[in-house]
Amino acid sequence: MPLRLSHNAAGFSEDFDAYISRRRDFAEDVSGIVADIVADVRQRGDAAVMDYTSRFDRLDVSGGLRLDPSLIEAARDACPPDQIAALETAAARIRAFHERQLPDGIAFTDSDGVRLGARWTPISAAGIYVPGGTAAYPSSVLMNAIPAAVAGVSRVVMVVPTPDGETNPLVLAAAHLAGVTEIYRIGGAQAVAALAFGTDTIAPVDKITGPGNAFVAEAKRQVFGTVGIDMIAGPSEILVVADAENDPAWIAADLLSQAEHDTSSQSVLITDSGALADAVADGIESLLGNLPRHDIARQSWEDHGAIILVDNLFRAAELVNRIAPEHLELAVEDPDGLAEKITHAGAIFLGRHTPEAIGDYVAGPNHVLPTAQSARFSSGLGVIDFMKRTTLVSCDADALSRIGPAAVTLAEAEGLDAHAWAVTVRLNKR
């Protein structure tokens, strides 16, 4: 059964701490297996990737790792028109939101006459990992590829496993819509290694983004430093803060929207109404029987779900900040007022008519968000993740004469005489 806690009960702090400290990803340690795969791909390149694809995906790619571009274009025609229309709506909204994230440069001359600035430039190549087969997510293609395109990345590469040769046409249609034409039929740790280090067929990229299983996550961890990565994502999370005025069926659906992702997902309700809490719990039981993924959702809810009662919803902010959820719904009378008190959350959904699921597809902001309390120090995927900032400094002789002596003093204090001389020799040439 999901955990039930009351903020006023004795021992609440200890029980709450124990709950948020639970490890939800109980997968066995795969670091050794991944390290062997990464090393093998570095050494043998395409041959290793082909071997692992044959072993894990039961697919012979000896005829070529890359998906024929004609299949990408044909996929669009194979999809129902209403699905294509929905993808186009999502893509337009995602692009419009991310275009507003493009950063401005800096350029000014300070009071000492030093010209200073900063400019933003895109990375050269991005690799996007997309889960494949029947359990595929075209929305993830859009959420990863469109920010890269908006940033100006000139080469966007997608890897997508095709177990038993099975592809999802809507995933390929999403790639076509986002302008991705370089797609490889590979997945797992071997795909991450190929993107990071390159093979004869696949040129290396600068950054790898996108979700995957434990092997993919560990591979991203191991190649970080050779390439950039977006994050090490854990199981999905949703936290709903709701008052008594809500329809319990709505809240039940919202909680299960993340529970159905994975048995390790976390769904939490914080409310000041015991009646709502009971009604939501009953609503979840009713809804579970109608979900195709009911076994996954039920295990997630029973193993990791929680209902927390508080006497005042504005007190919920403290609990929310300690959980630092991936997704936060504020289904309350004054969501904006409560949101002002929230400092740690990946994405906040304001009001009773804003389910988290709308953010997964068509709202516009990115659905690649920090999990496992990492919203305390990180943000969701965005345009800046595909860019880097370079600072600019320019001194003329007068400007150097004003700030140079301080640099010499600090360099000498640190025992770095060549640093000091590099400035001094210019000062003496005046």
Given the residues 7, 327, 344, 367, select the one marked as catalytic.
Answer: 327
- Does a structural domain hold residue 389? no
The answer to whether residues 167 and 132 touch, using CB atoms and an 8 Å cutoff, is: yes
List pLDDT tens digits, range 216-266. Answer: 999 999 999 999 999 998 889 999 999 999 999 999 999 999 999 989 999
Q: Which domain holds residue 238?
A: 3-23+234-363
Q: Are residues 188 and 238 in the same domain?
A: no
Rounded distance, CA 72 to CA 185, Å? 12
> Quick one: pLDDT at residue 331?
98
Q: Are residues 170 and 126 in the same domain?
A: yes
Q: Are residues 301 and 349 in the same domain?
A: yes
Q: Are residues 59 and 159 in the same domain?
A: yes
- Does a structural domain hold residue 186? yes
Which two tokens mark 309?
């009662």
- Residues of the chain whose pLDDT is less than 70? 25-28, 133-135, 429-430
Q: Are residues 330 and 351 in the same domain?
A: yes
Would the pTM count as exceeding 0.85? Answer: yes
- Does a structural domain hold residue 343? yes
> Quick one: pLDDT at residue 25?
67
Is 327 considered catalytic here?
Answer: yes
Q: Are residues 160 and 288 in the same domain?
A: no
Number of domains in the chain: 3
- Does a structural domain hold residue 60? yes
Among 363, 382, 406, the domain boundary falls at 363
Local structure of 366: helix, strand or coil:
coil
Helix ranges, 114-272 (H) = 138-151, 169-178, 188-197, 214-223, 248-259
List pLDDT tens digits, range 390-416. Answer: 999 999 999 999 999 999 999 999 999
Q: Are residues 423 and 352 in the same domain?
A: no
* Cα→Cα distances 318→215, 310, 344, Å: 34, 11, 10
- Longest alpha-carbon distance in the chain: 83
> Quick one: pLDDT at residue 167?
86
Q: Answer left, alpha or beta for residue 364, where phi above 0 means left and psi between -120 and 50 means alpha.
A: left
Q: Are residues 202 and 280 in the same domain?
A: no
Q: Are residues 156 and 52 in the same domain?
A: yes
- CATH code of the domain covering residue 283: 3.40.50.1980
Rounded distance, CA 383 to CA 93, Å? 14
> Quick one: pLDDT at residue 129?
96
- Does a structural domain hold residue 386? no
Backbone angles phi, psi at 262, to 5 degrees: -160, 150
- Does a structural domain hold residue 382? no
Among 173, 194, 229, the domain boundary falls at 229
Cβ neighbours of residue 401 closer than 8 Å, sequence gap 6 or more: 427, 430
> Quick one: pLDDT at residue 135?
64
Q: Are residues 97 and 206 in the same domain?
A: yes
Specify burial of residue 305 (Cβ count, 10 A radius: 0-12, 13-18, 19+).
buried
Q: Are residues 246 and 218 in the same domain?
A: no
Given the residues 237, 260, 326, 356, select the one marked as catalytic.
Answer: 326
Among 189, 214, 229, the domain boundary falls at 229
Q: Are residues 166 and 213 in the same domain?
A: yes
The answer to whether residues 101 and 133 touch, using CB atoms and an 8 Å cutoff, is: no
- Does a structural domain hold residue 422? yes
- Does a structural domain hold residue 119? yes
Is 414 considered catalytic here?
Answer: no
